[in-house]
Amino acid sequence: MADNINKLTAAIHRNLQITLNNKLKDFSIGSGQHDFFYVISLHEGITQKELSEWLYIGKSTTAKAVKNLVAHGYIRKEKDERDKRYDRLYLTDEGRQNSARIHETFKGIVEITTKHLSQSEIEQTIDVLRTILNNVLAENKEINADQ
């Protein structure tokens, strides 16, 4: 078997998590929560549903990540007044203090991954990956309409 896209995306994902954990070892939240924090810091007021959709991750995982971020004092939840089913998410002061550090780290991750690649290679790859993701999501939707 030669390399294929599935194996490579899996390997990249796993090993990038390791990179991220190393770079943010002293930051007192677990590896999965960095992404959530990052997105919230870019889109304050986002709901958990939107966060799940943005990251293409299950809502139960989002609920737990958010719970942890709140417990660590980095973000806070606020009930939407017009529809009390929604929780809107905002950075706390402590979250805001750590925000720049996270942004730098994420920028560094992008630089690491794109080393030795031209801008057009990167753009084309992003396009193809987006197509692949849509293919996979369509396949999963076919099987199960929910979640």
Q: Are 4 and 69 in contact (CB under 8 A)?
A: no
Q: Taking CB under 8 A as the rule, does residue 42 contact a copy of itself? A: yes
Residue 13-52 contact track with DNA, rule CB under 7 A, x = bound: -xx-xx--xx------xxxxx-------------xxxx-x
Single out the segment in contact with a copy of itself by CB under 8 A; choices: 51-59, 63-71, 72-80, 87-95: 51-59
Distance separating alpha carbons of residues 24 and 39, to the nearest angstrom: 16
Single out the segment in contact with DNA by CB under 7 A; choices: 64-72, 103-111, 115-123, 127-135: 64-72
Q: Taking CB under 8 A as the rule, does residue 12 contact a copy of itself? A: yes
Maximum alpha-carbon separation in the chain: 55
Distance separating alpha carbons of residues 40 and 91, to the nearest angstrom: 7
Backbone angles phi, psi at 120, to 5 degrees: -70, -35
Q: Are 37 and 54 in contact (CB under 8 A)?
A: no
Using CB under 7 A as the criterion, which residues of the chain lie in contact with DNA when the complex forms? 14-15, 17-18, 21-22, 29-33, 47-50, 52, 57-61, 63-68, 77, 82-87, 144, 147
